[in-house]
Amino acid sequence: MSGNKELVFKCDFDEYMDFGAYKARGGFKALREAMEAGPEKVIETLKNSRLRGRGGAAFPTGAKIEMVSKAKDKTRYIICNGDEGEPGTFKDRFIMTHLPFQLLEGIIISAYAAGAERGFIYVRHEYPEAQKELKRAIATVEAAGFLGENILGSGFSLKLEIFSGAGSYLCGEETALLSSMEGKKGRPRLKPPYPTVAGLWDKPTLINNVETLSNVPCITGKGAEWYRSIGTEDSHGTKLISLSGDVRKRGLYEIPFGTTFREIIYGFGGGPKDGREVKAVNIGGASGVLVPPEFLDTPLEYASCAKAGITIGSGAVFVLDDTREILDNVHNRVRFFLGESCGKCTPCREGLRQIDILMGKFREGTAVAEDIEKLERYTRVMQDAAFCGLGQAAGNSLISSLVHYRDEYIRGCALPETETKVREEALA
């Protein structure tokens, strides 16, 4: 991972994987201080930092912890979401495998603030290395007295375990995740009630992403103001970017909010290979959008991206150069979602099936002009009526490609001779 030691992840230090080195650099000091300050102070600091969830929905983290802390039921859980199913995203794997102590400290501080005495790290089974390192780290931290019974003599205890997922993309969605942990089918539940009210086994549950929780120790340790000094007025702190596709230096980068996509792709990533140009950028993973190079000067921050119609999501940035076919890329995503749809609701189950057929026709060049309108209609229905975020976001790349690369769809139409002129005019 590339990064800057002044930021959140201190990823220049290889020795950060080592418990002794982590402690020597101030590790677990934030936990000690948090326990001296008390849960209310921790929550206040996190709220003031304006940290927002990094799992995709960007919900304010301090507010979420406060909701759990105020629940009447004293049996509460914390779950760290390490499912990381979004294609092109590999930030949580890096943290869990290489920076496990920072993550554990964040989980313990958050659990303490929420009053959750049992916790789980939900790790996808495709990440065996991460599971191994986390197990090792949990044992080490427990032996040092930072985890387990009566942590640092505070009276607060936390039992933390790894839960291995079974490889379903949908189980990253928090309520499907809960169902899968309870031994049920990994399908989403109706919200509300939200997990903060009725989560694991119907108890108040704090669910946060790996990257979100890893931000916690430096915020409570260095203060909300320090954190807010990184980034922009709108979006604070840093974001881990999984950069892949047609760039010279693919990798994981920690960038302050406000960095433009051009800086990410050309600065950090070194741009496309010689002689090639950026044709499109997919931002936010399979459920994100496809945008043309005109969008590269958009700063990566929540407000600017929302204005430009970009969803930051998990922070995946995937570059397509001018050798790539947009329709191939979009169809690939549609098939991914078709395979991962749980089939519970009609708009997603049937919509994706129909869109898959239509995309095949466009790629073969046998579509008709009305098929473009059908693609738009089916996607809108999914966005409006699908039961969960999978179906609601599955058409994002399709809709954005219809806006920015419509000519490629028109080329995929086998039009009668009378309409050929219309097509040529549209492409002119």
Ligand X SMILES: Cc1cc2nc3c(=O)[nH]c(=O)nc-3n(C[C@H](O)[C@H](O)[C@H](O)COP(=O)(O)O)c2cc1C
| One of 110, 208, 215, 311 touching ligand X (CB under 6 A) | 208
Note whether 341 binds ligand SF4 by CB under 6 A. yes
Q: Closest CB to ligand X among 140 and 212?
A: 212
Note whether 167 binds ligand SF4 by CB under 6 A. no
Using DSSP's 3-state secondary structure scheme, residue 204 falls into: coil
3-state SS of 70-132 is: CCCCCCCEEEEEECCCCCCCCHHHHHHHHCHHHHHHHHHHHHHHHCCCEEEEEECCCCHHHHH
Select from ligand SF4, ligand X, none the partner in contact with residue 380, using the beta carbon and a kind-dependent cut-off of 5 to 8 Å.
Answer: none
Find the angle CA(193)-CA(196)-CA(202) to the nearest 5 degrees.
65
Select from ligand X, ligand SF4, none the partner in contact with residue 386, using the beta carbon and a kind-dependent cut-off of 5 to 8 Å.
Answer: ligand SF4
Note whether 329 binds ligand SF4 by CB under 6 A. no
Q: Closest CB to ligand X among 195 and 412?
A: 195
Note whether 395 binds ligand X by CB under 6 A. no
Contact flags string 172-191 toward ligand X, x per CB under 6 A: xxx-----------------
Distances (CA, A) of 309 to 196, 202, 283, 290, 382: 29, 36, 11, 10, 18
Distances (CA, A) of 361 to 39, 109, 356, 366, 375: 58, 53, 9, 5, 11
| One of 71, 123, 170, 330 touching ligand SF4 (CB under 6 A) | 170
Q: How many Å apart are CA 256 and CA 253, to the nearest integer?
A: 10
Q: Which tokens belong to 13?
A: 């230090």
Q: Which tokens belong to 327?
A: 């329709």
Note whether 397 binds ligand X by CB under 6 A. no
> Given the rule CB under 6 A, which of 39-47, 325-333, 341-349, 363-371 is the region that contacts ligand SF4?
341-349
Q: Closest CB to ligand X among 55 and 115?
A: 55
Q: Closest CB to ligand X among 327 and 382?
A: 382
Q: Which residues neighbour 376 within 8 Å (Cβ) at sequence distance 6 or greater?
A: 399, 402
Q: Closest CB to ligand SF4 among 326 and 399?
A: 399
Residue 82 in contact with residue 92, Cβ under 8 Å?
Answer: yes
| One of 16, 90, 387, 409 touching ligand SF4 (CB under 6 A) | 387
Could you tell me the smallest distance in angstroms from the CB atom of residue 274 to ligand X?
Answer: 36
Q: How many Å apart are CA 240 and CA 385, to the nearest integer?
A: 31
Q: Which residues neighbour 41 within 8 Å (Cβ) at sequence distance 6 or greater?
A: 34
**27-65 b/e with 16+ CB inside 10 Å = b?**
bbebbeebbeeebeebbbbbbbbbbbbbbbebeebbebb
Select from ligand X, ligand SF4, none the partner in contact with residue 208, using the beta carbon and a kind-dependent cut-off of 5 to 8 Å.
Answer: ligand X
CB atoms within 10 A of CB 251: 15
Query: Looking only at residues 19 through 38 of this chain, which bind ligand SF4 when binding is defined by CB under 6 A?
Result: none
Note whether 84 binds ligand X by CB under 6 A. yes
Give residue for tokens 């954190």: 227
| One of 138, 210, 265, 345 touching ligand SF4 (CB under 6 A) | 345
Could you tell me the smallest distance in angstroms from the CB atom of residue 72 to ligand X?
Answer: 22
Q: Which residues neighbour 9 within 8 Å (Cβ) at sequence distance 6 or greater?
A: 1, 3, 95, 99, 102, 214, 238, 240, 254
Note whether 343 binds ligand SF4 by CB under 6 A. yes
| One of 45, 49, 81, 329 touching ligand X (CB under 6 A) | 81
Note whether 177 binds ligand SF4 by CB under 6 A. no
Residues that bind ligand SF4 (CB under 6 A): 170, 188, 341-345, 348-349, 386-388, 390-391
Give me the residues that bind ligand X (CB under 6 A), please.
Answer: 53-57, 59, 81, 83-86, 170, 172-174, 207-209, 212, 388-390
